Each structure stands twice: as structure tokens, then as C-alpha cells.
């Protein structure tokens, strides 16, 4: 994880939390708690993550929280800070390592090695992948 990246220990659980905040539904019915309302502080986010077993690692530069609810009627473009774009270009362009993506992609590709992982037929696994993708989408910058 670079100094600008957010670390998430379990993208499926994190995605279920994000889906709960977005929809108002409890995606943790068997957990016996309501993961909503939408958090208002970083402490709220960290507390809810701990409750569902997600370790959320934030870079030291993250000191606040902005929750943005998109609308299908409004084009929303998130512009990253110039320094972040340049740092990620340096990190991914020169180190010779694979392009950094969350581990859950590798897990799903490995699970479905003899099949197309994007055509998952098991409904439960499809929803798990959906939650993980939403979790990834919800926090990624442009690295």
C-alpha cells in the first residue's frame, strides 16, 4: 500500500457496509445490528468497520470525511489532487511491480480459474463480488 492508498482488509464486508449506507437496508441481517445511519465522522466509519470486522487503514493525510451521494441525473467527476496523480504515476511507472489492485480480484479469478470470473453463476458469490466492487469503487482515487 502506498502512502496515498486506503487499505481495506475485506472488500466484501466493506462493500456491504457501503451498500447499507447507500440503500438504508441492513446487509448484515445475521450480524444483529443496523450499520446505518450514514456516518458523519471518521470515528463513526472506523467504529462501524470494527463492528463488521473490517480493518480500514487510512493514510496520515486523511483527516476528514465527505460522504457524497451521486445522482443518476448529475454527472459527477471527482478530480484528484495534482500531487496524488503525480505520486501514483511515479509509483506505478517505475517500480516494475504489477499494477496494484485489491486482492479480492485475484481471489475471484483464482476461484473461477476454469471459468470467466465476470460470469459468476453462483448467486451468493455474484453478490459477494458485487459488494467487493462497490467497496472498491467507493474509496478509490485515481491510482
| Tens-digit pLDDT profile for residues 37-83 | 899 999 999 999 998 899 999 989 899 999 888 888 998 877 878 88
Q: Count, in order, helices (H) and strands (E) of the chain.
A: 5, 2
pTM assigned to the model: 0.75
CA pair distance 57, 52, nearest whole angstrom? 15
pLDDT confidence band for 123 (50 / 70 / 90): confident
CA pair distance 17, 26, nearest whole angstrom? 8
The residues pairing with 7 across neighbouring beta strands, listed in sequence order, are 57
Amino acid at each position: 500500500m502506498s502512502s496515498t492508498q486506503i487499505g481495506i482488509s475485506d472488500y466484501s464486508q466493506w462493500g456491504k457496509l457501503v451498500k447499507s449506507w447507500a440503500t438504508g437496508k441492513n446487509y448484515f441481517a445475521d450480524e444483529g445490528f443496523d450499520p446505518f445511519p450514514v456516518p458523519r465522522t471518521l470515528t463513526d466509519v472506523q467504529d462501524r468497520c470494527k463492528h463488521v470486522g473490517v480493518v480500514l487503514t487510512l493514510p496520515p493525510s486523511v483527516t476528514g470525511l465527505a460522504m457524497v451521494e451521486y445522482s443518476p441525473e448529475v454527472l459527477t467527476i471527482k478530480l484528484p489532487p495534482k500531487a496524488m496523480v503525480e505520486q501514483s504515476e511515479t509509483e506505478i511507472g517505475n517500480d516494475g511491480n504489477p499494477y496494484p489492485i485489491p486482492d479480492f480480484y485475484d481471489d475471484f479469478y483464482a476461484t473461477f480459474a476454469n471459468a470467466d470470473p465476470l460470469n459468476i453463476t453462483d448467486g451468493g458469490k455474484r453478490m459477494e463480488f458485487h459488494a467487493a466492487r462497490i467497496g472498491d469503487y467507493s474509496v478509490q482515487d485515481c491510482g
